[in-house]
Amino acid sequence: MTLLDLPNIQGFVVRGYRLPVAAYLFLRVEDPIKASKWVSFAADEVITAAPWSEKPDAGINVAFTCAGLEALGVPAFSLGDFPLEFREGMAARAELLGDTEKSDPSRWEKPFDPGSAVHAMVMISAKDDDALAAHRDKVCQRIEEYGGFTLLATQIGKALEDDKEHNHEHFGYVDGIGQPSIEGSGVAPLPGQGAVDKKGDWRPIRAGEFILGYLDEEGVLPPAATPDQLVVNGSYLVYRKLRQDVAGFRRQLMKAAERYPGNEEKLAAKLVGRWRDGTPLVLSPEEPDQSLADDRMRNNAFSYCDDRQGSSCPVGGHIRRANPRDSLPFEGKLVNRHRMIRRGISYGPELPPGAEDDGEDRGLIFTSLQASIERQFEFVQSQWMNEGNVFGVGDDQDAVIGSQDRDPPRKMLVPGCPPFFMDNLARMVECAGGEYFFTPGINGLHFISAADG
């Protein structure tokens, strides 16, 4: 097992920071020479994956779009080697991703609106609002001093914490429990993370599924652009601003629960595969279990081998679609290469329970990291979330994030005696903008800053 070159990898690729506020700054390159100097400065500033002696109050990480790499002078032979989907950008992939109707890129807001081009993203993570504001001022000042960039837009994110310090998202579910464990990261894996092996045990996933320059699940280096100096220790970042219709989701759930032989909370759990407090249905199908949900050694330690029919966790449930674990045939071979690291954070004010829609913008800043955008993010989105074929649920799309742009009945079936149909599902999550980024290693940042076309 190769250990990762942690000081050369940007930190959030390898571990979540558990810093509850964030700002995403989107930049355009105006003067490549000046901008490159800032990139060189940033190479020494970014949080890396080297173990912390002390958790920082705030810090930055950076990523670039294909247009951004080009604007900064990365040579054409390099750019041509980057994968197609990265070069095309997310907006061009709308049909594949189900970004239709309200999510159509023509409706995306700044800085992802049509015609504009984002070149770079600076992600500031901080321990609280004050730390964020202070650090953001510092960062913006620096960027201005160096010149070279225009700031296009800023997006603020803030975790919704409950009194137990669990992050939940706007629909009310605890989020972020299921994450793949990366081989060689030095982060101790929790039970249930990673791949299921032949014996039914968990093992970490090969680093090359997430970080370029390391062996992947096939035992080879993931296809990557050239040269190594630029790409090794890098990863691809998918950024999506997902606006959530909280009032709509609650209304839909309440209405369906009227006919459901169980209470609303149980139906809510069936849609996702976890009770809202995070208890996995597979481990506790009849009621939530707070002590189980709180226990990181247990709250993700399950497989679907005893729930093949989906009587506990429906086959079309959100977490089962996102990671089928051992419920697809061939011992994980059809699953292990489609995992993603997720580093999202909520944004916007909470909608009080029972309140009407107040018109506020709220939702989830979804970010994922993977070695192949097409095989991991795009695949899960288009084949597991917006399709049901591989799970035997045909046309059915995910009840929480599915596009729900097909002909009626637009249903989800909850197995049982008799089975329950939730129908007339509507889109509850729309994409308000997004893009594909490359998160270089520190070596990559140095390469980019030195490149001059």
The strand ranges marked E within 202-343 are 202-203, 235-244, 341-342
C-beta of 115 vs 329, nearer to other proteins: 329
Per rule CB under 8 A, is residue 263 in the interface with other proteins? no
Task: Name the residue among 28, 63, 46, 31 with its Cα closest to residue 146.
Answer: 31
Buried b (16+ CB within 10 A) or exposed e, 394-415: eebbbbbbbbbbeeeebbbbbb
Reading phi first (left if > 0) and then psi (alpha if -120 to 50, else beta), residue 143 is in: alpha
Per rule CB under 8 A, is residue 353 in the interface with other proteins? no
Identify the residue among 87, 411, 427, 446 touching other proteins (CB under 8 A): 411
Per rule CB under 8 A, is residue 425 in the interface with other proteins? no
Return the half-sphere exposure (C-beta side, CA atoms, 13 A cut-off) of residue 410.
17
C-beta of 32 vs 314, nearer to other proteins: 314
Least distance (Å) from other proteins to the CB of residue 230? 19
Least distance (Å) from other proteins to the CB of residue 403? 15
Least distance (Å) from other proteins to the CB of residue 309? 7
- The one segment of 21-29, 307-315, 428-436, 444-452 that binds other proteins by CB under 8 A: 307-315
Least distance (Å) from other proteins to the CB of residue 229? 21
Task: Name the residue among 114, 415, 373, 409 with its Cα closest to residue 262.
Answer: 415
- Cα gap 199→195, rounded to integer Å: 11
Identify the residue among 7, 114, 392, 453 touching other proteins (CB under 8 A): 392
Per rule CB under 8 A, is residue 254 in the interface with other proteins? no
Least distance (Å) from other proteins to the CB of residue 221? 9
Longest CA pairwise span in the chain (Å)? 67
Least distance (Å) from other proteins to the CB of residue 313? 14
C-beta of 158 vs 410, nearer to other proteins: 410
Per rule CB under 8 A, is residue 295 in the interface with other proteins? no
Whether residue 381 contacts residue 366, with contact meaning beta carbons closer than 8 Å, is answered with: no
Helix (H) or strand (E) holding 150: strand 149-158
Per rule CB under 8 A, is residue 321 in the interface with other proteins? no
Per rule CB under 8 A, is residue 197 in the interface with other proteins? no
Per rule CB under 8 A, is residue 144 in the interface with other proteins? no
Whether residue 275 contacts residue 199, with contact meaning beta carbons closer than 8 Å, is answered with: no
Identify the residue among 2, 141, 290, 309 touching other proteins (CB under 8 A): 309
Least distance (Å) from other proteins to the CB of residue 377? 13
Helix (H) or strand (E) holding 24: strand 21-29
Per rule CB under 8 A, is residue 80 in the interface with other proteins? no
Site string for other proteins, 218-237 (x = CB under 8 A): xxx--x--------------
Least distance (Å) from other proteins to the CB of residue 64? 24
Per rule CB under 8 A, is residue 259 in the interface with other proteins? yes
- Cα gap 20→128, rounded to integer Å: 7
- Cα gap 391→202, rounded to integer Å: 22
Identify the residue among 95, 161, 306, 395 touching other proteins (CB under 8 A): 395
Least distance (Å) from other proteins to the CB of residue 99? 17
% helix, strand, coil for the chain, step of 5: 30, 20, 50
The answer to whether the Cα torsion of 313, 317, 321, 322 is positive or negative is negative
C-beta of 141 vs 389, nearer to other proteins: 389
- Cα gap 319→276, rounded to integer Å: 12
Number of residues that bind other proteins (CB under 8 A): 37
Whether residue 335 contacts residue 345, with contact meaning beta carbons closer than 8 Å, is answered with: no
Site string for other proteins, 358-377 (x = CB under 8 A): ----------------xx--
Task: Name the residue among 358, 341, 329 with its Cα closest to residue 244.
Answer: 358
Per rule CB under 8 A, is residue 281 in the interface with other proteins? no
Identify the residue among 40, 229, 303, 383 touching other proteins (CB under 8 A): 383
Whether residue 62 contacts residue 122, with contact meaning beta carbons closer than 8 Å, is answered with: yes
C-beta of 86 vs 146, nearer to other proteins: 86
Residues that bind other proteins (CB under 8 A): 218-220, 223, 259, 261, 309-310, 315, 329-330, 333-334, 337, 374-375, 379, 382-383, 387, 389-390, 392-395, 409, 411, 413, 415-421, 423
